Amino acid sequence: MTPADPFRALARPSPCARRAARRTALATLLALAALAAGCAGRAARDPFAGAALVDLTHALDADTVFWPTEREGFVLEPVFHGRTEGGFWYEANRFRTAEHGGTHLDAPVHFGEGRPAVDAIPVERLAGPAVRIDVSAACAADPVHAVTVDELRAFEAAHGRIPDGALVLLHTGWGRHWPDRGRYLGTPLRGPEALPELRFPGLSEAAARWLVDERKVRAVGIDTASIDPGPSTGFEAHRVLAAAEVPGLENLANLDRLPARGFWVVALPTKIRGGSGAPLRAIAIVPNQR
């Protein structure tokens, strides 16, 4: 039912009606003002109260690991560091970097023709409930392990169903090698000659397809240099995710600090128009487990 308009009667010709309407309108305005004052006087509830914020991001610096075909890594060039003529301190730098290095996002267009670039990814895909799937034991036994559908189902048997639309983070344990290029990538080489030597875990094509088809995931993250295992030459997991417009989050940090479920992730890339990837600042919000 539509509430009565307290101002409507002001248009009536009767003086008594107009006075009554003015009193009603005045009472309504006073009630609204009191309500607003009460709301302003109360502090808004802090959604982070009691939660731990876990930084999932490696800092960009001279030691940052990039995809080995990138000859140059992250470069920070000082422009001015010092005191100005006015006597106050001032610092400014410029930097240059490739899209795919350090903690970063793979946009669907990276492996999907006509799919969204970085700036076209809906923000709803970059934040939401998340799960952490620990496959570190299997990856320690096999450095090129490809996560299987059976492992995803085993996670659900132990921790409950992966929520539809969740961000899925794969904890391989490879973050412990950062930033040692040789151990993290399997080779210290740079350039095309490094590609046959890459050794690190990733996601199998079948598991990627299961996450897309069966759980409608909004993003997939991993603590290695690629969603696909190091020896992959077809990048099948990348292609499955790209076709479903699912972003990839690579080179994540501190996944060992997360529970299996019951937390949220916010993963915001630099909004590069037309970018196939971008540096990423990702955090996890882990509520008080009590």
Q: What is the pLDDT of residues 155-194, one digit of tens each?
A: 999 999 999 999 999 999 999 999 999 999 999 999 999 9
Rounded to an integer, the average pLDDT of 191-215 is: 98
What pLDDT shows up at residue 42? Answer: 59
- Answer yes or no: is pLDDT of 96 > 70: yes
Please say if 104 is a catalytic residue. Answer: no
Architecture in CATH of 52-73+99-286: 3-Layer(bba) Sandwich (3.50)
Rounded to an integer, the average pLDDT of 1-20 is: 45
Handedness of CA 286, 267, 222, 270 (dihedral sign): negative
Model pLDDT for residues 230-273, shown as the tens digit of each residue = 999 999 999 999 999 999 999 999 999 999 999 999 999 999 99
What pLDDT shows up at residue 126? Answer: 98
Axis crossing angle, helix 205-215 with helix 236-243, rounded to the nearest 10: 20
- Answer yes or no: is pLDDT of 85 > 80: yes
What pLDDT shows up at residue 47? Answer: 75
pTM: 0.84
- Answer yes or no: is pLDDT of 57 > 90: yes
Rounded to an integer, the average pLDDT of 116-135 is: 98
What is the rounded CA–CA span in Å between residue 212 and residue 71? Answer: 34
- Answer yes or no: is pLDDT of 54 > 50: yes
| Active-site residue identified among 58, 110, 145, 171 | 110
Domain locations along the chain: 8-41, 52-73+99-286
Question: Taking all residues of the chain, what is their mean pLDDT, rounded to a whole number?
Answer: 90
